[in-house]
């Protein structure tokens, strides 16, 4: 009889998600934000996502054998709690609490978990609950689902776990071994988040903007090394400046920030103008450089022996969403293969916790073939959604959706593209996307005017047909998940300037028929029609919203923008005033 494992993320307070394995096969994974329509779904439990996973897999609550959670109690004998107490001496309440009541959040989470399982009608008396340390869940997500017969170096660069923020170790024969961990408040991600806050953005959503603007600045203009250092023995964040708590924390308008007044004294007031202004654009460049330098230093110091032997490096954790750092890690001479978990943020710990619990039973996991792990919808369900929508969209059935979409794109139209199973992870991978022709004059302005309203300096990511990938970049390019930065070839930068940053880099997705036959079919039609083997791909969502999940969400989003065309499975959906133009 098959063993069914349900992994649940969200213990840290954001990005709740669920993942379901049957034996060693990942059959479903869904993020709660997609069902609640609220990015990161902060403070929510993975209730709807767990229900959706069970529905996709055809599993009843009573059939769940194991619940894996990415949060575990930490012993008082573990140096993590003592480190936390020592580094927070200036806030005695935090320090003492770390020692005497250090697992209170875990106990609170377990109570919440019991309520969730009762609500899901999963019998607690039958299902085994397996707590997995948060960074081990991250490590498992990138190692156990890409397990080879060779040693794999592992670097988890995360914002927050129970106490650990950075994990360095290796995987071998299914076992994960710690070599070094760094604990709160000494966090690379925390450093970057504090500067994101200082630069005027919300943490969790603003980091990619800081990363994106960094090529426009000069990192040598300002020295941010006082924020943190790694000297080969110690990595420390200077928490007199950033990563502050209690009375050290800077407060404005009753809101506490992740930095102190001392940082403002050093750098000047928090940004209120344009990010492209001096000094802020240069601060963005400087924090990106410091972040990369320290991360590379940690990897080289603790993992070089393993990497010199096998060359395989697996990375996960929220900090692994930084594609520029990933590009630099991939370029290290000792790294022959870089594995980045496609859902490397906290939602991915639903997969990682479950994978870790399964591998502990000596079951080897089936490698991930794609991240299309969410629900799918029939054309009949799409028709019903059109009929039920109060704005009454116009729809018609297409005989060849791929050829028709290619025709629309070739003439310069934007196409909302809703197909198959919803993707899991932060990137829209072509099943819930807005697609555009990168050769259309002013296409970035068109996308921003109709739906996205993004800053003009931000390029749009391309999806690239596998048969032309060698022309796209002089680097070896095989990323199917938009996880690793890549430098666009000079020729393609000139032909498609809208897809690259100022330094010629971008994040891109190679599309193969084996993993996404529908999108590959569309790209092939477009290539044949136009001579161009790539399209712009941006998320099927409005600014600040989560990626759409179901046809109702897609239609509501479509009707609330200036988009003209949406292909919803095999339906062409338009608005009344546009219906006669097709």
Tens of pLDDT, residue by residue over 291-331, are: 999 999 999 999 999 999 999 999 999 999 999 999 999 99
Q: What are phi and psi for residue 556, nearest 5 degrees?
A: -60, -45
Q: Could you tell me the sign of the dihedral formed by the alpha carbons of 210, 211, 216, 217, in that order?
A: positive
> What backbone phi and psi angles, to 5 degrees, belong to 189?
-60, -40
User: Does CATH place domain 188-340 in 3.30.420.40?
Assistant: yes
Please tell me the least confidently modeled range out of 9-13, 35-39, 477-481: 477-481
The tokens for 255 are 């809101």
pLDDT of residue 133: 98
Q: Find, among 189, 225, 226, the residue nearest to 210 by Cα.
A: 189
What separation in angstroms does the CA of 478 have from each of 469, 475, 514, 519, 569?
8, 10, 14, 16, 27
CATH superfamily of 4-145+343-359: ATPase, nucleotide binding domain (3.30.420.40)
Contact indicator for 258, 242 with CB cutoff of 8 Å: yes
Q: What is the pLDDT of residue 457?
A: 77
Scored b (16 or more CB within 10 A) or e, 519-537 reads bbbbbbbbbeebebbbbbb
pLDDT-derived band at 458 (thresholds 50, 70, 90) equals confident
Q: Looking at residue 354, what is its pLDDT?
A: 98
Same fold, 4-145+343-359 and 188-340: yes
Across 152-166, 265-279, 379-393, 523-537, least confident range:
265-279
By three-state DSSP, how is residue 506 classified?
A: strand
Per-domain residue ranges of the chain: 4-145+343-359, 188-340, 379-581
CATH superfamily of 379-581: Carbamoyltransferase, C-terminal domain (3.90.870.20)
Sign of CA dihedral 213, 214, 215, 216: positive
222-252 residues labelled b (16+ CB within 10 A) or e (exposed):
bebeebbebeeeebebbbebbbbbeebbbee
CA distances from 167 to 128, 187, 502 (A): 27, 11, 33
Nearest to 21 by CA among 317, 375, 356: 356
| pTM for the whole structure | 0.95
Does pLDDT of 581 surpass 70? Answer: no
Spatial CB neighbours of 327, under 8 Å, sequence gap ≥ 6: 484, 485, 486, 487, 505
Q: What would the mean pLDDT of 355-377 be, rounded to a whole number?
A: 96
pLDDT over 70 (residue 283):
yes
């Amino acid at each position: 009889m098959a063993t069914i494992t349900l992994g649940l993320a969200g213990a840290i307070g954001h990005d709740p998600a669920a993942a379901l394995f049957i034996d060693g096969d990942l059959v479903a994974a869904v993020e709660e934000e997609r069902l609640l329509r609220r990015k990161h779904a902060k403070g929510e439990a993975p209730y709807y996502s767990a229900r959706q996973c069970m529905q996709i897999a055809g599993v009843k609550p009573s059939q769940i054998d194991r619940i894996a959670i990415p949060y575990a109690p930490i012993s008082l004998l573990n140096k993590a709690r003592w480190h936390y107490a020592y580094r927070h001496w200036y806030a005695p309440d935090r320090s003492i609490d770390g020692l005497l009541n250090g697992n209170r959040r875990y106990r609170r989470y377990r109570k919440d978990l019991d309520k969730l399982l009762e609500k899901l009608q999963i019998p607690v008396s039958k299902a085994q609950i397996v707590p997995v340390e948060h960074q081990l869940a991250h490590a498992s997500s990138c190692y156990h689902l890409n397990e080879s017969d060779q040693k794999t170096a592992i670097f988890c660069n995360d914002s927050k776990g129970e106490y650990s923020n950075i994990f360095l170790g290796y995987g071998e024969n299914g076992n994960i071994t710690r070599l070094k961990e760094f604990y709160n408040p000494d966090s690379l991600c925390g450093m970057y988040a504090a500067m994101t806050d200082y630069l005027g953005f919300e943490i969790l959503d603003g980091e990619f903007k800081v990363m994106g603007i960094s090529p426009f600045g000069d990192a040598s203009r300002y020295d941010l090394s006082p924020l943190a250092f790694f000297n080969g023995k110690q990595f420390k964040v200077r928490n007199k400046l950033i990563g502050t708590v209690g009375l050290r924390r800077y407060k404005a308008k009753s809101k506490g920030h992740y930095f102190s007044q001392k940082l403002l004294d050093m750098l000047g007031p928090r940004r209120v103008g344009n990010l492209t202004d001096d000094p802020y654009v240069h601060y963005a460049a400087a924090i990106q450089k410091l972040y990369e330098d320290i991360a590379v230093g940690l990897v080289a110091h603790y993992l070089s022996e393993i990497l010199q032997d096998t060359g395989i490096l697996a990375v996960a954790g929220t900090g692994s969403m930084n594609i520029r750092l990933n590009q630099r890690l991939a370029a290290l001479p000792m790294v022959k293969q870089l594995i980045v978990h496609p859902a490397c943020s906290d939602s991915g710990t639903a997969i990682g916790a479950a994978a870790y619990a399964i591998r502990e039973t000596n079951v080897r996991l089936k490698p991930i073939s794609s991240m299309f792990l969410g629900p799918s919808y029939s054309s009949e369900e799409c028709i019903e959604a059109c009929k039920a929508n109060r704005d009454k969209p116009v729809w018609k059935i297409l005989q060849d959706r791929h050829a028709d979409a290619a025709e629309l794109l070739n003439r310069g139209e934007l196409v909302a593209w809703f197909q198959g199973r919803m993707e899991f992870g932060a990137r829209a991978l072509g099943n819930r996307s807005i697609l555009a022709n990168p050769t259309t004059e002013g296409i970035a302005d068109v996308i921003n005017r109709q739906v996205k309203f993004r800053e003009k300096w931000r390029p749009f990511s391309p999806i690239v047909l596998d048969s032309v990938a060698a022309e796209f970049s002089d680097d070896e390019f095989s990323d199917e998940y938009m996880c690793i930065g890549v430098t666009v070839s000079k020729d393609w930068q000139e032909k498609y300037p809208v897809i690259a940053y100022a330094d010629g880099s971008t994040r891109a997705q190679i599309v193969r028929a084996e993993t996404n036959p529908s999108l590959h079919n569309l790209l092939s039609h477009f290539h044949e029609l136009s001579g161009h083997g790539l399209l712009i791909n941006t998320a099927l969502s409005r600014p600040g919203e989560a990626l759409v999940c179901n046809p109702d969400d897609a239609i509501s989003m479509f009707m609330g923008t200036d988009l003209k065309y949406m292909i919803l499975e095999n339906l062409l959906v338009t608005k009344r005033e546009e219906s006669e133009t097709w």
